[in-house]
Chains A and B, each alone.
Chain A
């Protein structure tokens, strides 16, 4: 396939699949923009962490995963969920606290999980999902199953003890897991540089005897390629890889974030010049996979899906107090 070559993709991916990936990116953007607005209106409560601007890492990393493959996600997990095949209507319903939501309204923004699609769930504890991914990989290893587990975590989580313990264990046991660090460069209140004294988090891989790569997280092609290589290695039984994808969240850490730690100019630069969706669209057009009109149509489809999702969520029933004590124990 010629397009593939012009896109510099290593694995072969069909046009349809690429268009679908493009749509997924828009779904993520629309979803989180919409959630932002609903939060601001007080229509949904709690807190939320938005992945606007980080669409390429989620969609790229999950692009070639099957439903058997697993991911573990983070508090900023809407994108991962959508990329791993999650349904936006059930996600929106969850955020509205409805019984039709992924977690029947009991999990909310931070705990969306879809075990059927291989999404082992979003974790509210920073670094909490990393050892869990190792456990998932251990199952694959012990049961001799083919699947790999992609473990998403942020730059902040790489300073958690669980990260080090988990990476070490996966390494010594050669487990099929990919540690995928989305470095969006800012923690809740400051730059990653204030908390980490190395240039690239991927350098930490060396300490555990595994490969570590740094990629542009806003370039979906790069993300797909790097993840493909890591998952293939894992499937061959050669052990884990640490991927660090540099990206940028457009919104604050959570709702109450005045973003005092960065400038409007910097934000504007990332929005205007390094928008991962815009970049992918240009490449798709350049490769002749879509026209401008087709791209707009895909975007509108995504918008429509999202509007339908909101409608679905709003029409869905609230849980009753009878549900309060169900599912505490299996």
Chain B
């Protein structure tokens, strides 16, 4: 099969859908001839024109509100938020309107919109352009939250997100844009709420999201040399969360390490850990659950500091060993 980068897979998923469905359009800052801050929409305005590749003023709240309004009245907008950090400005529309309208209206109306947004550190963009704020939106009932880790996953999950009748926050990790994997040419959908076991193992379960999936895989390869067998579960979507797969894995291994890039304090890892503690897997836990997340500080600029602010492969290795009393 041909290989595609994560970035190309995002673009391809959108393009395939837009060719089929006139209701789908894209709104965002600098997504027109510029091609978007990361080049995801490059070439799209040429194909779909400025009406459907709608370049907006720098008005995150306005764009988000317009997306909600158009979604409520029959369109299926995709909104590109240039950096996921900027969600703070659009959050009222996403949290107070998009997430709640259907419930507030007693089941009337729907808001089929996708907020696509690059997140994560590692580019040296420092504190206001490097955050991972997925736990905020995962907290809000009415939103769905997706964090793909591979090119294959991103294409299938974006298709599912576009098909979904609910607002979906779709996190694309900046450092993953250039990674590639085999991606089928045709359209396909990966259901939201279905975790993927990225590696099977028996001693410890690592639940890792986004870029941490790759770091966990690296750690697992190292640990294998020492005879430690690690299972890696990539939830792929935080909301809905595939609790069953995680519970099954932890029941099997008896040990859990949760890894995400977002700040550990109040991060989604706490949700996964608590979910396990409340589940039937609790009785199979044979070591305290270990969480790895970003430090409680803004992302620093200096590359060494930046690296140290989020979990790295040796941290994961150590965490696994600690869980195994090794």
Contacts and interface: CB of A to CB of B under 8 A. Distances in A.
B69 A104 contact: no
Contact of B142 (A124, A138, A329): A329
A234 B323 CA distance: 65
A121 interface: yes
Given A103-B104, A326-B107, A136 B57 contact: no
A129 to B, nearest CB: 8
B109 A113 contact: yes
B71 interface: yes
B165 A330 contact: yes
Interface string B88-114: 000011001100011111111111100
Contacts of A124: 96
A134 interface: yes
A140 B51 CA distance: 13
Nearest to A327: B107
B67 interface: yes
Contact of B106 (A103, A134, A142, A161): A103
A326 B108 CA distance: 11
A330 B62 contact: no
A121 B61 contact: no
Interface in A106-145: 106-107, 111, 113, 115, 120-121, 123-125, 128-140, 142-143
A134 B65 contact: yes
A130 B61 CA distance: 10
Interface stretch (A56-64, A166-174, A290-298): A166-174
A140 B67 CA distance: 13
A124 B92 CA distance: 11
Nearest to B105: A113
A308 interface: no
Contacts of A161: 61
B62 A134 contact: yes
Contacts of A135: 65-73, 75, 77
Contacts of B59: 165-166, 168-169
Interface string B203-239: 0000000000000000000000000000000000000
A330 B71 contact: no
A106 B107 CA distance: 9
Interface residues of A, number: 45
Contacts of B141: 328
Given A128-B93, A330-B102, A136 B61 contact: no
A102 interface: yes
A121 B65 CA distance: 14
A276 interface: no
Contact of B69 (A105, A111, A134): A134
A87 to B, nearest CB: 14
A154 B326 CA distance: 65
A101 interface: yes
Interface in B286-315: none
Contacts of B73: 70, 120, 135-136, 139-140
Contact of A327 (B63, B71, B103): B103
A162 interface: yes
5 contacts: A113-B105, A131-B66, A133-B69, A135-B65, A161-B61
Given A102-B105, A121-B101, A329-B165, 10 more contacts: A103-B106, A115-B109, A121-B109, A125-B96, A131-B63, A131-B64, A135-B71, A162-B92, A169-B56, A329-B166
Interface of A: 70, 72, 101-107, 111, 113, 115, 120-121, 123-125, 128-140, 142-143, 149, 161-162, 165-166, 168-169, 172, 326-330
